[in-house]
């Protein structure tokens, strides 16, 4: 068991950022699902505890659990839900890194989730159609984050060819438009919250890519916060302080510079001899000095 844990940690550490995000999502899914299964075996229930990690449609409930705007994008409702989200993240995460950096992907994932979540809450509280559902509606899943990655990549390279099974090759911009158009068509379906969040994530991805093309990175604040959190929890040992002795430092500097000057003059003399008489004319000691100098 220890070896498996070590291997997983090493794979996580060595993996690209999208692989690390997949690991986090899968780990959260496994832990939450196993917890529910074990409790059910003993006829016990958490009684909606995991809802505190899901994003509520109600602003009143959100004020009580503001962290859910971040945690919901790592939660999933079932195996197929997480499977398709992680496949999209795997495919388009690799494509995204061909045009942007790993930190950009991390920032866009979080930005897409935030924008998708905010649009979901606003829509449910503004449009009369959703108001009867506000008090008992919650959202979870990484799809808004993934759509942000897809949209950003499509904006950056709209004509990039994507090969689809059974459909052949299609340009990335058309694939993105089909996905976004589908979300618009099903905005009043049983999964209305998910489709609205997808639109918010896609808008975030376009916002990021358009801003970056003008030299403005709107994910920089997210990455600064994440870097600060990582540095706090990394627990890296402090490097020992270097001891500095001031007593005769000037004399040591003088001696060092003098030795360097002598060595440099000696190498110059050997090189002059080499040019005039060839390598075979050098003594064994001169050859050694020249070899040592070439390694510095």
- Tens digit of pLDDT per residue, the chain (296 long)? 567 667 666 767 777 899 999 999 999 999 999 999 999 999 888 768 899 999 999 999 999 999 999 999 999 999 999 999 999 999 999 999 999 999 999 999 999 999 999 999 999 999 999 999 999 999 999 999 999 999 999 999 999 999 887 778 999 999 999 999 999 999 999 899 999 999 999 999 999 999 999 999 999 999 999 999 988 877 555 555 555 554 555 555 556 666 776 777 787 787 777 666 766 677 777 767 766 765 55
**How many whole angstroms separate alpha carbon 108 and alpha carbon 149?**
6
The DSSP code for 128 is T
Predicted local confidence at residue 45, as pLDDT: 81
Q: Are residues 127 and 166 in the same domain?
A: yes
Instruction: Find how far residue 181's CA is from the centre of its chain.
Output: 27
**Do 16 and 93 touch, CB atoms closer than 8 A?**
yes
Q: Are residues 60 and 33 in the same domain?
A: yes
CATH of the domain at 126: 1.20.1540.10
Q: Are residues 270 and 207 in the same domain?
A: no
Q: Are residues 13 and 149 in the same domain?
A: yes
Q: Are residues 179 and 273 in the same domain?
A: no
For residue 212, give the nearest of 200, 198, 223 by alpha carbon.
223
Q: Are residues 24 and 62 in the same domain?
A: yes
Structure tokens belonging to residue 263:
């060595």
How many helices and strands in the chain, by DSSP H and E? Answer: 12, 4
**Do 223 and 87 touch, CB atoms closer than 8 A?**
no
Q: Are residues 30 and 138 in the same domain?
A: yes
Q: Are residues 204 and 287 in the same domain?
A: no
β strands within 49-153, DSSP E: 55-56, 138-139
**How many whole angstroms separate alpha carbon 131 and alpha carbon 244?**
69
Q: Are residues 181 and 255 in the same domain?
A: no
Residue 240 belongs to some domain of the structure: no
Domain count, the chain: 2
- The DSSP H or E segment spanning 233 is helix 220-233
Q: Are residues 263 and 172 in the same domain?
A: no
Predicted local confidence at residue 246, as pLDDT: 47
Given 180, 196, 231, the domain boundary residue is 231
Domain of 32?
A: 1-231
Given 186, 205, 231, the domain boundary residue is 231
**How many whole angstroms separate alpha carbon 152 and alpha carbon 205?**
4
The DSSP code for 1 is -
Q: Are residues 58 and 141 in the same domain?
A: yes
User: How much is the pTM?
Assistant: 0.76
- Rg over CA atoms, the chain: 30
Q: Are residues 187 and 262 in the same domain?
A: no
**How many whole angstroms separate alpha carbon 17 and alpha carbon 15?**
6
């Amino acid at each position: 068991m220890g070896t498996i844990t070590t291997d997983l940690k090493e794979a996580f550490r060595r993996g690209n950022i999208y692989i690390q995000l997949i690991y986090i999502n899968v780990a959260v899914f496994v832990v939450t699902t196993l917890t529910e299964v074990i409790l059910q075996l003993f006829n016990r229930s958490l009684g909606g505890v995991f809802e505190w990690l899901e994003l509520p449609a109600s602003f009143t409930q959100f004020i009580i659990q503001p962290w859910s705007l971040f945690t919901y994008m790592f939660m999933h409702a079932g195996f197929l839900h997480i499977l398709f989200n992680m496949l999209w993240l795997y495919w388009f995460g690799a494509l995204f890194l061909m045009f942007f950096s790993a930190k950009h992907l991390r920032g866009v994932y979080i930005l897409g989730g935030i924008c998708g979540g905010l649009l979901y809450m606003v829509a449910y509280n503004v449009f009369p159609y959703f108001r009867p559902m506000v008090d008992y509606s919650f959202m979870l899943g990484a799809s808004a984050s993934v759509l942000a990655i897809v949209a950003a990549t499509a904006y950056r390279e709209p004509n990039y060819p994507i090969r689809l099974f059974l459909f052949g090759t299609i340009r990335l911009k058309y694939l993105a438009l089909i996905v976004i158009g589908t979300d618009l068509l099903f905005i009043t379906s049983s999964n209305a919250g998910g489709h609205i969040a997808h639109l918010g994530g896609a808008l975030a991805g376009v916002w990021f890519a358009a801003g970056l093309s003008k030299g403005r990175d709107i994910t920089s604040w997210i990455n600064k916060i994440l870097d600060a959190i990582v540095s706090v929890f990394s627990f890296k040992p402090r490097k020992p302080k270097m001891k500095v002795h001031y007593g005769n430092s000037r004399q040591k500097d003088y001696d060092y510079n003098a030795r360097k000057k002598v060595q440099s003059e000696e190498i110059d003399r050997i090189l002059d001899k080499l040019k005039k008489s060839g390598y075979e004319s050098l003594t064994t000691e001169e050859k050694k000095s020249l070899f040592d100098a070439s390694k510095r």
